Chain A
Amino acid sequence: MTTFTESPEAAYVLLRLGERRFAVPAETVEELTGASQLHKLPHTTPLVEGVIVRRKRVVPVRDIATQLTGRALRLHRFYLVVRRRYGAVEEPEAIPVTGDCELLSGVIAFPRGDQQPEYIAGNLELAGEQVPLLDLEKLVAAAPQAAGPAGRAA
């Protein structure tokens, strides 16, 4: 099997959504923060739940659990704050996760399988478990698009 990356420095953050685990490149992660008050506002963007305030910054909250597992997290204790890229600009975005996250380094990512969607950049093999490595930009691009003439308090 060919390796997805040869970089020995590659590091990943392992996150849990319900019963499933996923990984994201550590370089995209800003912090893991405890539950913050979610502020909702009317809007039409699917899977964006509202915003939280972190260090006087307004950070949108994106529900990736629904997209990846088919259901939103009923309970979550943490937000994983990641950096999203919009052209030349980066902005933080908070992902609700079920529990603690884990930093992994020295792990080799293998290429994604033929049947896996494009937003899976590869797979980490951890104690016999294949953990999908997410490409957050492609994941968001694959999300349903805004619809409806007016918003609803999400």
Chain B
Amino acid sequence: MSPVPQTRAKSAAPPRQEPVIVFVVAGTQMAIPAGAVHEIRSTDSLAGEAAVLEQADFPGVRHTLERGGTTQYVVSVGAFFSLPRSRPSLVLVLRGVRCALLVDRIERMDALSTIYALPRAFQGDERRWYLGLALFEDGVVPMLNPEGLLTREHLERLDARHLAGAVPV
């Protein structure tokens, strides 16, 4: 999915609503398309399935999950974005990407007809991280790009570390 332009399309038909999951990490709200989330698990319930990944290149990645013969890397959203320390309790296992998100809690499910393109003033990695910005009554929330946190190069480097030896929790 690519960011849509800031101007809304004019159409007689009602705009399609996209379900999104709004979650919170260290008081910061973020959203992700609901269709990108395969399952939501508590950290407790994953304790037996996760393995520790010893590596220092990606401070936000400390654990892996094995799903269908594929290794998924658990990204601590707080550590990834350098947010203040918090107490994550949920893991969003994503669909179709080798990434899961460690978050504090789910705020709500919502539906959006418009995702605003990230303004071009933003020039850094955030252009990869976000699909755009969601406008809710209580604020502007970045919409995470499920494919944007770990690039192919990141995954190759993580795979190399992982092959060097994962330690069961």
Residues of A with Cβ closer than 8 Å to B? 37, 39, 41-45, 48, 51, 53, 56-60, 62, 84, 86, 89, 91, 93, 145-146, 149-153
For A51, list chain B residues within 8 Å (CB): 119, 133, 140
Bound Cα distance from A44 to B116, whole angstroms:
19
Which of B38-46, B62-70, B77-85 lies at the interface? B77-85
Assess the B120–A150 pair: CB atoms within 8 A: no
Closest chain A CB from B23 CB (angstroms): 14
Bound Cα distance from A151 to B119, whole angstroms:
16
Task: Name A89's contact: one of B120, B122, B142 (CB within 8 Å).
Answer: B120
For B129, list chain A residues within 8 Å (CB): 42, 151
Bound Cα distance from A86 to B59, whole angstroms:
34
- Chain B residues 119 to 158 lying within 8 A of chain A, measured CB to CB, are 119-126, 129-130, 133, 135, 139-142
For A86, list chain B residues within 8 Å (CB): 120
Assess the B6–A150 pair: CB atoms within 8 A: no
Closest chain B CB from A59 CB (angstroms): 7
Task: Name A53's contact: one of B81, B121, B140 (CB within 8 Å).
Answer: B140
Nearest-neighbor residue (CB-CB) of B140 within chain A: A39
Closest chain A CB from B80 CB (angstroms): 6
For A91, list chain B residues within 8 Å (CB): 6, 119-121
